[in-house]
Structure 1
Amino acid sequence: MKLLVRADASVEIGMGHRVRCQALVSAFEELGWQCQFVMDRRYQAFGSTKDSFVDTEAQFWHVAEQADLVILDHYGYRAADIRRLYQHQPNLLVLDDMNDRGVFPAKWLLNPLSQDYSEQIEWLLTGSQYALLRPAFQRSYHSAGDSLSHVSQPNKLLITLGGTDPLALTLPILKGLLWSGFPKEDIQILLGANAKNADQVIALCNEQAIAYKQGLADVTPLMKQAKMAISAAGGTLFELACMGVPTVFAQVADNQTRSLEQHVPLGWCRAVRFDHVSDALRGQQVAYLVEALNRCWGDLQWQENASEIARRIVDGNGAKRVAKKVSAYFGVF
């Protein structure tokens, strides 16, 4: 059985689509599927040599027709675009977050948030049980529970603003923390391979003897060490929940709105919005975020409760659940 995944990546788009689809690919490959990513050739620098690259939609339609299943994770596709793709490949699984693209048909619709869709979707896969995490998070789920049982107490503040850090927030947040007097020995910076201003962040880390890593394939060891995190609110939200890490989220894109609307009221995280803020006001938002972090950092009871809440939400098995449900339709078990 052949599966194609359409998910572009770039500094502007981010790496989240690619990362969560890779989790799905791993789960489908375990069931014997042959999987391949398809990307717009303009973004091939962010892909793999194993990917297929297209220049036009007609080219993508052609390769889609040759597959048994197509997974679409792409905000550039509005309802009309998805309808056209569906005409070429009805075995279509669409990943969604905002439910704001209009009415469109699909065989399956996957959203880790609880939302309602039209009857043109044959099967809905919605809710946090379908959050797509890489296999490392499933393996780490129980060991994260061990740390909560005081076998190994996490003591770091993990700062991770996504694969590309599109708003270049790592540097001003780090400076704000240092200015506030936050202990630099407790800070762990995680930079994506394509993070903006990475050279400046690394220079400051070296100057201040702050721990940092860049371009890690497996981030679970750092999350296990994290007492709290400052993070972008994309797919990392579900990863941090799975690992039981209380977090102050920096919203850097509009498509993160719904997830924060559903998760902040649960009590395991806080959020500060940056995507609709002018450059002139961004420093003020950084100050709000640093203040929220410092307030939560000293509240050990909140941290304990937040960790327990977070781990109840996501168990790391979402990708396997999706792969098994979809494969059952094709008689693959």
Structure 2
Amino acid sequence: MKIAFRADASAEIGTGHIMRCITLADAFKGTGGQCYFICRSIPQSLQDVIKSKGHSFFQLPHGPPFIAREDDVAHASWLGVNWEVDALHTAAVISGIEPDWIVLDHYALDHRWEKQVRGPQCKLIVIDDLFDRPHIADILLDQNLGRSRENYKDLVPRDCQVLAGPEFALLRPEFEKMRAISIERRKKPKLEKLLITMGGADKDNVSGWLIDFFEEATDLGLLSVTVVLGASAAHADSVKMKASTSVIDVHVLQNVNNMAELMKDTDLCIGAAGSTSWERACLGVPSIIFSLADNQKQIAVDLDKHKIAKQAQLWDAASLLEIVKHLRKAKNLTRLGINAAKLVDGLGAQKVVEHVESYNVKAI
């Protein structure tokens, strides 16, 4: 089976779309699939990850710059070109691959692009979080809390399979492997080790602000703070310099390949309310979350509402201090971790592959 992925990454888009596609591609590869990534915008570091996993990579050519129009979808500008240009370029690559499935993970594209790119024998998986535009998908995946077919009833064909909710969260295998150990160590709760993960780009340098915050809040009793940055983090040098002169014990790691282990070993994580929310949940890690992008706002609200994570307001040091003090109480820390662990089992990618294989059998 051949599977072609269309996704991008940038400071504006973030890295989460590419990362979850890589996870799904790895799962397909594990069952004998051949995977191809087609990208317009992507850092070299992520290209290297794709290739190191044994997947093929295609870089789309430059095109005329994006011109806004009245019929654009909300995130159309993220593409860098108008959708017709991208469809033309992508279709040229697709014709050479002749995939069985296309996986589309891009907020800038909708049913118009899909009609231009998919062939008559090719099936389509759309990965979405926003339910704000129509698709002609055979399978639609939305891994967010509270999602159901109802959200997409007027946006996809009647026979489209909608895989909704965190049970389908696309996590790398190491999270499921670390799950039991991580949950077990939380039976004796404490708050000494803190992990900060603000996404692959962290374009607003929230990591730097958090280091400043914990330098001032010295009465919290933390023994160590670890900050994880993506390979393309915009303020990496500044964060590293700040950490090197900090009065608290701060370690900065960049472009790590052991995130599951780092999460397992921490007592509390502060992170963006993006796809890493499901990684933390799988491991039962108590979390404080910030909404750093439009597509994270509802995730943050829902996770806080269901007492799976505590939402903090960006740049509001007073509210963050109150939340951290609340979580210093063992019962509060424990309750958050238990609720989180119930949400995600770490087998989402495997479940999606099984649905695709089942779909293929029914189509024969």
Common fold by TM > 0.5 = yes
After alignment, is 303-312 or 78-87 more displaced? 78-87
Note the alpha carbon deviations across 1:12-58, whole angstroms, 9 max, x for none. 21110111111101111111100121111x43534235411122421
Q: What does residue range 141-220 of structure 1 map to in structure 2 within 5 Å?
A: 141-150=179-188, 155-181=192-218, 182-183=220-221, 185-208=223-246, 209-220=249-260
CA contact (8 A) 2:194 2:222 kept: no
Aligned partner letter, 1:125: L
Match of 2:152 among 117, 132, 148: 117
Name the structure 2 match of 1:320.
Answer: 350
Task: Measure, in 2, the Cα distance between the counterparts of 1:254 and 1:158.
Answer: 24
Q: Could you list the runs of 5+ residues in structure 2 that have no partner in the other structure?
A: 62-85
Mark the CA change 1:198 to 1:289 in structure 2 (over 3 Å): closer, same or farther: farther
Task: Measure, in 2, the Cα distance between the counterparts of 1:251 and 1:219.
Answer: 20
Name the structure 2 match of 1:260.
Answer: 300
Q: What does residue range 48-197 of structure 1 map to in structure 2 within 5 Å?
A: 48=48, 50-55=56-61, 56-65=86-95, 66-86=98-118, 90-101=122-133, 103-113=134-144, 114-115=147-148, 116-118=151-153, 119-120=156-157, 122-150=160-188, 155-181=192-218, 182-183=220-221, 185-197=223-235
TM superposition shift of 1:87: 5.9
Name the structure 1 match of 2:67.
Answer: none
Aligned partner letter, 2:38: V
TM superposition shift of 1:160: 0.8
Q: How many pairs align?
A: 319
2:37 is paired with a residue whose SS is strand
User: Percent identity, aligned pairs only?
Assistant: 28
Q: What does residue range 280-299 of structure 1 map to in structure 2 within 5 Å?
A: 285-288=315-318, 290-299=320-329
CA contact (8 A) 1:97 1:255 kept: yes
Name the structure 1 match of 2:290.
Answer: 250
Task: Measure, in 1, the Cα distance between the counterparts of 2:110 and 2:302.
Answer: 24
Name the structure 2 match of 1:2.
Answer: 2
Aligned partner letter, 1:237: S
Task: Measure, in 2, the Cα distance between the counterparts of 1:142 and 1:294.
Answer: 25
Name the structure 2 match of 1:232.
Answer: 272
2:11 is paired with a residue whose SS is coil
TM superposition shift of 1:183: 4.7
CA contact (8 A) 2:211 2:243 kept: no
Task: Measure, in 2, the Cα distance between the counterparts of 1:246 and 1:110.
Answer: 26
Name the structure 1 match of 2:261.
Answer: 221
Mark the CA change 1:289 to 1:169 in structure 2 (over 3 Å): closer, same or farther: farther
TM superposition shift of 1:294: 2.4
What value does the CA root-mean-square deviation take over the aligned residues?
Answer: 2.2
Task: Measure, in 1, the Cα distance between the counterparts of 2:101 and 2:92.
Answer: 13
Q: What TM-score comes out, normalization by structure 1 length?
A: 0.89
Mark the CA change 1:132 to 1:47 in structure 2 (over 3 Å): closer, same or farther: same
CA contact (8 A) 1:73 1:96 kept: yes
Q: Could you list the runs of 5+ residues in structure 1 that have no partner in the other structure?
A: 275-284
Q: What TM-score comes out, normalization by structure 2 length?
A: 0.81
